[in-house]
Structure 1
Amino acid sequence: MSQNTTTPEGTQIVVMGVSGSGKSTIGALIAGALGVPFVDGDALHPQSNIEKMAGGKPLNDDDRWPWLTVVGQTLSEAGATGTGMVIACSALRRAYRQAILDSAPGVRFVHLDGTRDVLSSRIEGRSGHFMPPSLLDSQFATLEPLAADEPGMVIDIDQPVADIVSETVAKIRSTTGVPNA
């Protein structure tokens, strides 16, 4: 495998936050900028979780643990093969992030943070997603913001997408010791 000159091989990033924060959109753009694959963590949910959320019911921990195991294993495999990866995953609680870190200790988290008003307007403006706007309150109730002692960064989403991506990529590169391109 050829060495990527702008991102260390095996870079593992989880783009996290509540529904509507832009995890999938921003995650895909970050992956593109870093030259690594992108996976939407929603695609790793078992069908039973998708059906539950689509029905307006929040997931409980029994629903989440198997999913978080798959997220961590997917990142670990990408790190071990040297391809690296960006995964969009809500990772709302510290225990959830720790479950991912248990499988993939090299992961760095990018917490896309915004106010309820900003997030609510984003959710109401999208279509074709299984997460209804009514579950935003339950996500905020579950959210434990990324703490200073966790590996990662908090990014304010109340700015243009291009600025979010460039700020995030610059911070990722600075923490991995790779200069910006």
Structure 2
Amino acid sequence: MSHNAAPLIVVMGVSGSGKTTVGQAIAQRLAVPYAEADDFHSPQNVAKMRAGVPLDDEDRRPWLDAIATWLDEHAGRGGVVTCSALKRRYRDRLAAVSPEVLFLHLDGSAELIAGRLAQREDHFMPASLLQSQIDALEPLEPDESGAAVPIDGTPERTTALALAAVEAR
């Protein structure tokens, strides 16, 4: 990432890892726009997830394209978007937009995340789909621009670690 360009940050991880909370906090601290990946899903995708059916790659393609378009529109100005980005090929699609794209993988144990999902209300993603996301998750590889951020502390601590990772880039 060049030092004069604001970062394009994708806060990634499985459902319940804290993407929205941390993503909003990072965007506020960096004074850049924020977008929630859930807002890019089609009504059909939301209905599938509500029914407990995992999305497949074909379901995700237009969703990823819409997120990539948002990133492209914010290149040079910076922004933060949440996106599960579970697979390398999904991240490659998003990273192709700009060399400024940085992935922050909110990483925690399945038990911790399941506990958080059990507390969450008013979300279309049922806890029953957590295992399918964990199974699909391909951790960041050394050649990807990004960092794993532990989520076992408070949201404020996770945000501080995430911002430190951004600064390190």
Query: Smaller-chain TM-score range?
Result: over 0.9
**Residues 1:35 and 2:31 are matched in the alignment:** yes
Give the CA RMSD over aligned residues.
1.2
Aligned to 1:4: none
Aligned to 1:127: 121
Q: Deviations over 1:37-94 (max 9, x none)?
A: 1100110111111111111100000000111111111011101xx3311001000000
Partners of 1:10 and 1:83 lie apart in 2 by: 6
TM-score, length basis structure 1: 0.89
Residue pairs, 1:8-47, within 5 angstroms: 8-47=4-43
In structure 2, runs of 5+ residues without a counterpart are: none
Residue pairs, 1:63-142, within 5 angstroms: 63-79=59-75, 82-142=76-136
Partners of 2:120 and 2:7 lie apart in 1 by: 30
CA spacing shift, 1:75–1:31, aligned 2, 3 Å? same
In structure 1, runs of 5+ residues without a counterpart are: 1-6, 176-181
> Which deviates further from its counterpart, 99-108 or 159-168?
99-108
What amino acid sits opposite 1:155 in the alignment? V
Q: CA deviation at 1:118?
A: 0.2
Q: Does the CA contact (< 8 Å) of 2:5 and 2:100 recur in 1?
A: no
Q: Does the CA contact (< 8 Å) of 1:10 and 1:78 recur in 2?
A: no
Aligned to 1:155: 149
> Which has the greater radius of gyration?
1
Q: Deviations over 1:133-170 (max 9, x none)?
A: 00001001110011111100000100111111111112
Q: Give 4+ residue runs of structure 1 displaced > 3 Å after superposition.
A: 7-10
CA spacing shift, 1:23–1:8, aligned 2, 3 Å? farther
The count of aligned residue pairs is 167
SS of the aligned residue for 1:129 comes to coil
SS of the aligned residue for 2:96 comes to helix
Q: Does the CA contact (< 8 Å) of 2:104 and 2:148 recur in 1?
A: yes
TM-score, length basis structure 2: 0.95
Indicate the percent of aligned positions where both proteins have the same amino acid. Answer: 43
Q: CA deviation at 1:9?
A: 4.1
Q: Deviations over 1:112-131 (max 9, x none)?
A: 00000000000000000000
- Correspondent of 2:44 among 17, 38, 48: 48
Q: CA deviation at 1:27?
A: 0.4
Partners of 1:37 and 1:66 lie apart in 2 by: 22
